[in-house]
């Protein structure tokens, strides 16, 4: 026989509420941040807006692509990437290729990474670009 049946049941209820609180809190919490814009002044001035890979791929897989580029440049000395679709050749470079079009790190990279709650390590090795003041 359980003599403190009421206390045990109350304890179980309190435990379940504490464990479930983060889930219910995140469901009820409104989204404050809108999805960041991927447009930059350089991209807006381009006639044909074309990246090294399709936009959907770059949105989800750009870090894997950058990792592959880094490995092939550092380990194999292979510094160029030829796009299969149009045969255009790009330098495998975060700063010279990617940051040419996506020129505003604060507005482009940082806003998107903050929205996705990720902390990339790109700038541990690369020099963070200085923003032009307008």
Domain boundaries, the chain: 1-30, 34-125
Q: How confident is the model at residue 17 (pLDDT cuts 50, 70, 90)?
A: very high
Residue 1 pLDDT exceeds 60: no
Q: What is the mean pLDDT of residues 29-46?
A: 72
Q: List phi, psi (to 5°) of 120.
A: -70, 160
Gyration radius from the chain CA atoms: 24
Confidence class for position 132, pLDDT limits 50, 70, 90? low
**Pairwise CA distance, residues 81 & 118, whole Å:** 26
Average pLDDT over residues 80-93: 85
The CB-side HSE value for 27 (13 A sphere, CA atoms) comes to 5
The whole-angstrom separation of Cα 23 and Cα 104 is 35
Whether residue 106 contacts residue 131, with contact meaning beta carbons closer than 8 Å, is answered with: yes
pLDDT band for position 123 (cuts 50, 70, 90): confident
The mean pLDDT value for 7-32 works out to 85
- pLDDT surpassing 70 at residue 42: yes
DSSP H or E segment with residue 95: none
């Amino acid at each position: 026989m359980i003599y403190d049946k009421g206390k045990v049941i109350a304890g179980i209820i309190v435990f379940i509420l504490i464990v479930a609180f983060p889930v219910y809190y995140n469901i009820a919490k409104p989204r404050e941040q809108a999805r960041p814009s991927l447009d930059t002044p350089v991209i807006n001035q381009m006639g044909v807006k074309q990246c090294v890979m399709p936009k959907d791929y770059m949105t989800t897989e750009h870090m894997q692509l950058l990792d592959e580029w880094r490995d092939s440049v550092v380990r194999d000395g292979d510094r160029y990437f030829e796009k299969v679709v149009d045969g255009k050749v790009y330098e495998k470079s975060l700063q010279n290729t990617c940051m040419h079009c996506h020129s505003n790190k604060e507005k482009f990279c940082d806003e998107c990474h903050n929205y996705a709650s990720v902390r990339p390590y790109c700038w541990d090795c690369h020099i963070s670009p200085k923003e032009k003041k307008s």
